[in-house]
Every structure is written in C-alpha cells, then in structure tokens.
C-alpha cells in the first residue's frame, strides 16, 4: 500500500464571496461546485482545493464536525518563472507579497481575505519535478 498524493486540502473562510473573488477571480482556480453559505470547491492541478465556511462545518451532521480557527496555510505549485507575474498581479489588487528564499529557489506568500497564508512556489523547493 502507498499514499498516491494529496487528493484534497481545505481552508476555512466565513466570507465565501470574498474567498471566491480571491481564489477564482484573482488566482484563476476553476470553481466546480458551490453551496451558498457552506462551501466552494475548486480544481487545483491534479487535486481539489476546498473552502468551507467554518460555522457551517462545525454544525455538520452528515460528516464529523471539522474546522480550523486562525490562519491556515496552503501552497500552490507554480513555475518559478511565473512568480514575478503573480507578485505583480497580487500587488496590483492590493495584496502585500512577502518573498522567501530557499536552498532550491524562492516562493511568495500572501494573505487571502480570511487571513489564511497562501504560498505560491515551484515544486523544486521541495526537490520535486515541475510536472
């Protein structure tokens, strides 16, 4: 038996309209499912990225209640050569960008409207191929 990768990951945001504007409008993720007041489901490469309203998932009845409080972190894989363009796009929309230098490259960090820490980075920072 072997884990094949991360299938889905999620963040929590009480304002799903703001989250939709950031992840779909600004980052360009494809929204494929939405339940107003509860969740947004996006395609992210070969995986799925979920944004839940924490109040709705804390009251879950079908699944175990879940959620997070405070800032959560996610990193999206992007080619190294696209990082400057992403930084310019985010800054043009009023989002402050912080750069981090790693042994095998660099990445950028930005906070989404809910205060979650979003990183954009090439796979090489983890020694992975950019496939």
Q: Where are the domains of the chain?
A: 8-126
Structure tokens at 72: 């959560």
Give the model's pLDDT for residue 48.
97
Residue 78: Cβ within 10 Å count: 20
Q: What is the pTM of this model?
A: 0.92
H helix runs in 9-107, sequence order: 16-20, 54-58, 83-92
Average pLDDT over residues 18-38: 97
Average pLDDT over residues 16-42: 97
Give the model's pLDDT for residue 60.
65
Fold of 8-126: 2,3-Dihydroxybiphenyl 1,2-Dioxygenase; domain 1 (3.10.180)
Q: What is the pLDDT of residues 40-98, one digit of tens each?
A: 999 999 999 999 998 888 776 677 777 778 889 999 999 999 999 999 999 999 999 99
Give the model's pLDDT for residue 36.
94
Taking CA atoms, 100 is separated from 3, 83, 94, 104, in Å, by 29, 12, 19, 11
Determine the Cα–Cα distance for residues 75 and 84; give it in Å rounded to an integer: 16
Signed CA dihedral, 37, 116, 96, 106: sign only: negative
Q: Which residue has the higher pLDDT, 109 or 55?
A: 109
Give the model's pLDDT for residue 116.
96
Provide the percentage of residues in the chain whose pLDDT is more than 90.
Answer: 79
């Amino acid at each position: 038996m072997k884990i094949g990768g991360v299938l889905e990951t999620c963040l929590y945001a009480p304002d799903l309209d703001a989250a939709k504007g950031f992840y779909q409008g600004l980052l360009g993720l494809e929204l494929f499912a939405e339940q107003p007041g509860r969740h947004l489901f996006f395609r992210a490469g070969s995986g799925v990225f979920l944004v839940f309203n924490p109040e709705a998932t804390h009251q879950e009845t079908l699944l175990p209640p879940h959620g997070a409080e405070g800032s959560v972190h996610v990193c999206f894989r992007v080619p190294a050569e696209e990082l400057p363009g992403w930084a310019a796009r985010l800054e043009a929309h009023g989002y402050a960008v912080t750069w981090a230098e790693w042994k095998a490259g660099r990445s950028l960090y930005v906070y989404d409207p809910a205060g979650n820490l979003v990183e954009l980075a090439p796979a090489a920072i983890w020694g992975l191929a950019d496939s």
